[in-house]
Structure 1
Amino acid sequence: MPQYLVYFNQQWVGDHTEEWFRGRGDLARAVVREMEAAGVLVCTGGLEEETEQAFSADPTSGTVLFSDGPYAETKEYLGGLAVIDVADEDQARVWAGKIAEACGWPQEVRRFKPFDPEAG
């Protein structure tokens, strides 16, 4: 079955009260439990918001160079993700919609390229 990445950029979340966020937690956990029960969840998680805790690994010089912070300076950065394993795009849309409704902000969906272990 194809796998899809369902994700959001932190900037899509918007400004909300702490109470609003606490109210979303139970909804989001319920969708995760539903995905687990349906056998479609590969992994999910929210990322730390502080980009100062990020680091990068860059092999382009011939030696891997590790540096603090995100690789690229950008206004948008990944906030959280789910990887789902579903039969088709229609099912990916169903789960992405449930995630978006539970979180209360937009989600983007992208299909993973099929993995060919024989390709060289």
Structure 2
Amino acid sequence: MTTVIDSQGNIIMAKYLISFPSAAMVVPDGEWDAVVHDAHAVIEEAKVAGVYVFGGGIDESVAPVLVSADGSFAEGGYPWAPQLNGGFTILEVPSRDEAVAWAARIAKACRCAQELRVFQYDPAS
């Protein structure tokens, strides 16, 4: 169950990550303008609905920085982990069904499948 109820019986909406890797964006030439328009339209709808938290695409021209617990850092991410790229949207909605519906709208606009994940509830965050 991803909907959390507080002690007063109020629904605490869950945050969902909707994302795709760069390789999933296979858009035919001539359709990019339509994809950008359609994706921005869905994001605007999410903002108007009050469910949009944050979103964007990873800037793949900038290398990640791996920062250690002691504060030292080096360019590059974890050498053993897959590269993180692509785009993501974080929405806060009352149910998984609603999150799936928004993911479907984003998938249609972006012309590629979206992965949906829920963030664990943490009352301190």
Whether 1:29 and 2:40 are equivalent positions in the alignment is yes
The structure 2 residue matched to 1:54, chosen from 63, 68, 87, is: 63
Indicate if the aligned counterparts of 2:66 and 2:76 stay in contact, CA closer than 8 A.
Answer: no
Deviations 1:34-59 (A, max 9, x none): 00010000011112233xx1222332
Indicate if the aligned counterparts of 2:27 and 2:111 stay in contact, CA closer than 8 A.
Answer: no
Indicate if the aligned counterparts of 1:46 and 1:79 stay in contact, CA closer than 8 A.
Answer: yes
Aligned residues: 113
**Cα displacement (A) at 1:4:** 0.3
Indicate if the aligned counterparts of 1:55 and 1:71 stay in contact, CA closer than 8 A.
Answer: no
TM-score, L = length of structure 1 = 0.83
Counterpart secondary structure, 2:89: strand
Indicate if the aligned counterparts of 1:7 and 1:108 stay in contact, CA closer than 8 A.
Answer: yes
Gaps of 5+ in 2: 1-12
When the two chains are superposed, the root-mean-square deviation of aligned CA atoms in Å is 2.0
Letter in 1 for 2:120: K
With 62-71 and 38-47 compared, the bigger mean Cα shift is at 62-71
* Larger helix percent: 1
TM-score, L = length of structure 2 = 0.80
| 1:15/1:95 CA distance change after superposition, 3 Å | closer
| 1:14/1:77 CA distance change after superposition, 3 Å | farther
| 1:117/1:10 CA distance change after superposition, 3 Å | same
**Cα displacement (A) at 1:16:** 3.2
Gaps of 5+ in 1: none
The structure 2 residue matched to 1:16, chosen from 28, 36, 41, is: 28
Deviations 1:43-84 (A, max 9, x none): 11112233xx1222332xx52232223333666532111000
